Structure 1
Amino acid sequence: MKKQILKVLPFFEARIWGGKRMLETFNYETDVFPVGEVYNVVALPNGADCLIEGKDMTLSTLYKDYPEWFNCDTEQLPIRVNLLDPLADLSVQLHPDDAYALQYDNSRGKPEAWVILDTPEDGKIEFGHHAKTKEEFANLAHNKEWGNLLKYLPAKKDYFIDIPAGTLHAIGRDVLTYNISRNADLTYRLFDYDRIEVKTGKKRELHIDKVVDNVLVPDTSKGFVWYDSYLKDGCEITDYWDEPGLYTLSRIKVQEQGYYEMNRFAFITVVEGKGEISGTRIKKGETILVPEGLGELKITGNIDAFIASYKNEKKEVE
């Protein structure tokens, strides 16, 4: 198959804190309910896996069968993108690093990052903790002294927040976020507000001991960071993160017409507006894959979009 821009169809996950609002916000249609997460880019074979529009294949199959579209140093697609708009606070959780995840759960770790797309005035996130030692953390956690342990931050619209492995976190109610992470699905929950899962009639599983094993102590998290944008070729561009072996993330806004140079493959997710990208029509909530090597993109319309990509980890020359 010749390299071309393709639309990646969203993969929906039901969540205890989900509802219909995500569908209404981005004009999605699905029988999944209550929708909590929309995976705009996910490629886990025999698991969460986006479909490719008009090609009768999943994203993981495309990655395997057409490696030259990506030119990556990883067996599976290395990045994942999703949108969240929870109607209740998410569980307080963390993700382990690669070594721990592989040893105990045969998975990769899942460092991630968010950009806050919208938030109410009282919007907040849980981020980090107040414990000074692992022993203090474990004691507070096992005794459920959440008020003394958990740290909360006011959510800041259009700000970026980095969440390394081992960082305690939770998106708060009504805080709409764009998320990028490694293409993995391993979460350890510390606290879930004693909620009951409707399907099972039971509380969701917690992983307190694994959280204690992995949590970063002392907490040195930086919280929200603002990145200034710059203008180039008709585009307003914000570059958030560019780490080989992890992910690259930028945001691009275009009014009427702009040009954007692509050196690597990329997934472009529109969060506001509509238009065309090199002849492919795209609107709010949709994602396209731009294979490596297509070069400069011509963008027309009124578009606010995120560009997610990956650079191969540099190897030292022996």
Structure 2
Amino acid sequence: MDLYPLKFTPIFKYRIWGGNKLKTKLNKDYIEENIGESWEISGVKNNETFVSEGYLKGRSLAQLINTFKGDIIGDNVYKIFGDTFPLLIKFIDAKKPLSIQVHPSNEIAKSRHNSFGKNEMWYVMEAEDDAELIVGFDKSITKEEYEKHLKNGTILDVMHHENVNSGDTFYIPTGRVHAIGEGVMLAEIQQTSDITYRIYDYDRVDAKTGLKRELHNDLALDVIDYRVYESYKTHYDLNKNTSNILVHSPYFKTNIIAIEGHMTIDYSDIDSFVIYICVEGSLDINCNNLDYSLNTGETLLVPSNLNELKLKSVGAKILEVYYQ
């Protein structure tokens, strides 16, 4: 049977800093408290998402790739990654600040953990008044000075704090220290990796364990990029009914589309799966004369062998993600 645009059942993750916006704002279905992450499309081992609709319902991402290979993820993507899906798509709700953390490069992650590195990006969907992100450093710092601040508990003083609003976008390459602040809900696109080095966690105790969370400062020291950059936020255009470049990296490409009325997209030149993440409004999608809907907080995987899609909406915004 033919492939079709695929929705998956999310995996919900308890986090010490999690809230309830994934339920109240994005209509996620769970009963637990402090859910900080919704893993929307995941091929991470032991954390795979499963198709939620259609004749492929119940199939995992790995099973789909094993069966359909390049037809679902693209011939070139399959040649590079085999049965491993290269990206992990999440929604994150930070009721409280996340730890200050950093991710290792592909090379370091491979040698230390037999894993991919974790280059990622954030698209802010909602931010409370005065909400902020921590991204990189505000002033040039040596490794020795960094260690001194860490020891003295003043590491936040040298970090770059940036107030954020809905629509703000940040690319977080490996090596860049970062944290999501209190009151921020965002979409995250990242390499398939769960390797995080936590370097500062506000001395918090996890109510579930009664313990402080583990820090990884020895591992982080040689990973951190200590340089200062002129700007950390991504600037982009938002022309209607076209794919506007958001973040194009060697690990994924993300565009943003603001849909007003009708538009048709042709993917015949892209040898890759495409993921739609609806970050505002809702839209109707027609593919091979079948209709699908996508609402705020939902994601859709478009297999590589589906070339033409017709989109219809009044004011929806979607992130368009692919590998090529």
- TM alignment of 1:1-318, pairs within 5 A: 1-46=1-46, 48-54=47-53, 55-68=57-70, 69-71=72-74, 72=77, 73-75=80-82, 76-129=84-137, 130-220=139-229, 222-231=231-240, 235-244=241-250, 246-262=251-267, 263=270, 264-278=272-286, 279-302=291-314, 303-311=316-324
- Of residues 146-155 and 113-122 in structure 1, the stretch that sits farther from structure 2 once superposed is 146-155
TM-superposed deviation, 1:149: 3.0
The amino acid that maps onto 2:257 is: I
What residue identity is the alignment partner of 2:229? T
Distance 1:96 1:219 in 2: 18
2:243 match: secondary structure: strand
Q: Secondary structure at the match of 1:285?
A: coil
Partner amino acid, structure 2, of 1:82 = K
Question: What's the TM-score, normalizing by structure 1?
Answer: 0.90
2:20, 2:93 within 8 Å by CA — same for their partners in 1? no
Contact 2:238 2:258 in 1 (8 A): no
Contact 2:99-2:202 at 8 Å conserved across structures: yes
2:17, 2:59 → 1: CA distance? 30
Between the aligned partners of 1:189 and 1:88, the Cα distance in structure 2 is 16
Q: Do the aligned residues in 1 keep the contact of 2:146 with 2:155 (CA within 8 Å)?
A: no
Once the two structures are superposed, residues 124-171 of structure 1 have per-residue CA deviations (whole angstroms, 9 ceiling, x without a partner) of 111112452111112221232224332211224312211110000001
Q: Distance in 2 between matches of 1:187 and 1:281?
A: 34
- Please state how far the C-alpha of 1:111 moved relative to its aligned partner: 0.7
Say what the alpha-carbon RMSD is for the aligned residues.
1.7
Query: Once superposed, which parts of structure 1, at least 4 consecutive aligned residues long, lie more than 6 Å away?
Result: none
Consecutive unaligned residues in structure 1, runs of 5 or more: 312-318
| CA–CA distance in structure 1, aligned partners of residues 32 and 266 of structure 2 | 37
What is the deviation of 1:221? 6.6
TM-score, normalized by length of structure 2?
0.89
Q: Which amino acid aligns with 2:215?
A: L
Greater shift in the superposed pair: 214-223 or 36-45? 214-223
- Verify the 8 A CA contact 2:239 2:258 in the aligned structure 1: no
Where does residue 314 of structure 1 map in the other structure?
none
Closer, same or farther: CA 28–276 of 1 in aligned 2, 3 Å: same
Aligned counterparts of 1:110 and 1:199: Cα–Cα separation in 2: 27
CA distance, structure 1, for counterparts of residue 189 and residue 278 of structure 2: 14
SS of match in other structure, 2:7: strand
| SS at structure 2 position matched to 1:117 | strand
Q: What's the CA shift for 1:216? A: 0.6
Name which of structure 1's ranges 177-186 and 112-121 shifts more when overlaid on structure 2.
Answer: 112-121
Query: Are 2:6 and 2:300, in contact at CA under 8 Å, matched by a contact in 1?
Result: yes
Shift in Å, 1:274: 2.2
Report the Cα distance in structure 2 between the residues aligned to 1:42 and 1:98, rounded to whole angstroms.
Answer: 18
SS in structure 2 at match of 1:213: coil
**In structure 2, how many angstroms separate the alpha carbons of the residues matched to 1:160 and 1:149?**
22
Aligned partner of 1:114: which letter? W
Letter in 1 for 2:295: K
Decide whether the 8 Å contact of 1:9 with 1:40 is kept in 2: yes
Which whole-Å CA distance do the structure 1 matches of 2:230 and 2:155 have between them? 18
Contact 1:8/1:286 (8 A) holds in 2: no
Question: How much has 1:207 moved relative to structure 2?
Answer: 0.7
Q: Percent identity?
A: 28
Structure 2: 5+ residue runs without aligned partners?
none
